[in-house]
Chains A and B, each alone.
Chain A
Amino acid sequence: MTLAAFVDEAATVSGAAELRGAASTVAFDRVSVAYRGAVVLKPLTLEVAAGEILAMIGPSGSGKTTALRAVAGFVRPAGGRIRIGGADVTDLPPYARGLAMVVQNYALFPHMRVFDNVAFGLHARHAPKALIEERVAHALEVVGMSQYARRLPRELSGGQQQRVAIARALAVRPKVLLLDEPLSALDAQIRRSMVEEIARLHAELPDLTILYVTHDQSEALTLADRIAILRDGALSAVGRTGDLYRRPPNRFSAEFLGRANLLPVVVESAADGSGLVAVRAGEERLVVAGADEPAGAARLLCVRPQNLTLAPDAAHANRIAGVLREIHWQGELTHLVAEVGGALLRVVATRLPTIPARGERLEMFFSPADASLIAEDADV
Chain B
Amino acid sequence: MSDAAASPRGVKVDLGALWVAPPLIALAVLFLYPLALIAHAAVYDATDVVNLPAAWATLGSRAFVNALFNTAEIALAATAGSLALGLTLALIIAFVPFPGATFVARLIDTFIALPTFLATLAFTFLYGSAGVLNGALVQAFHLSDAPVHFLYSAWGVILAEVTVYSPFVLRPLLAAFSQVDRGQIEAASLLGARPWRIVRQIILPAALPAAIAGGSLCLLLTVNEFGIVLFIGAKGVITLPLLIYDKAIQESDYQAACVIAMVNVALSLGLFGLYRVAARRLGA
Contacts and interface: CB of A to CB of B under 8 A. Distances in A.
Interface string A118-141: 001100110000000000000000
B191 A172 contact: yes
A99 B189 CA distance: 10
B194 A95 contact: yes
B190 interface: yes
A124 B187 contact: no
B14 interface: no
Given A109-B201, A124-B197, A172 B181 contact: no
Given A95-B192, A120-B191, A124-B191, A111 B205 contact: yes
A103 B183 contact: yes
Interface string B188-226: 111111100100011001100000000000000000000
A95 B198 CA distance: 11
B188 A109 contact: yes
B139 interface: no
Interface in A265-303: none
Interface residues of B, number: 17
Interface string B158-190: 000000000000000000000001011011111
A93 interface: yes
Interface in A61-77: 72-74
Given A111-B205, A111-B206, A120-B193, A105 B188 contact: no
A238 B191 CA distance: 29
A67 to B, nearest CB: 15
A103 B188 CA distance: 12
A95 B193 contact: yes
A97 B188 contact: no
Contacts of B202: 109
A168 interface: yes
A178 to B, nearest CB: 8
A101 B188 contact: no
A168 B191 contact: yes
A85 interface: no
A204 to B, nearest CB: 22
A95 B201 CA distance: 15
Contacts of A239: none
Interface in A52-106: 72-74, 93-95, 97, 99-101, 103, 105
A107 interface: yes
Interface string A5-17: 0000000000000
A74 B188 contact: no
Given A74-B186, A120-B201, A107 B181 contact: yes
A99 B184 CA distance: 15
A105 B186 contact: no
Contacts of A120: 188, 191, 193, 201
A100 B181 contact: no
B178 to A, nearest CB: 16
Chain B CB within 10 Å, residue with most, of A95, A168, A169 = A95
A165 B190 CA distance: 13
Contact of B188 (A72, A110, A124, A178): A124
B183 A72 contact: no
A110 to B, nearest CB: 8
B97 to A, nearest CB: 12
Contacts of A107: 181, 183-184, 186-187
Given A107-B181, A111-B206, A94 B189 contact: yes
A105 B184 CA distance: 9
Interface in B202-252: 202, 205-206
A105 B180 CA distance: 13
Nearest to A102: B187
B205 A101 contact: no
B193 A101 contact: no
A101 B192 contact: no
Given A107-B181, A109-B201, A120-B201, A100 B188 contact: no
Given A72-B186, A124-B197, A105 B181 contact: yes
B186 A172 contact: no
B190 A97 contact: yes
Given A120-B191, A172-B191, 11 more contacts: A74-B186, A94-B189, A101-B190, A109-B188, A109-B205, A120-B188, A120-B193, A120-B201, A124-B194, A168-B191, A178-B190
17 contacts: A73-B189, A73-B190, A74-B186, A93-B189, A95-B189, A95-B190, A95-B193, A95-B194, A100-B190, A100-B191, A101-B187, A107-B184, A107-B187, A109-B202, A120-B201, A124-B192, A125-B191
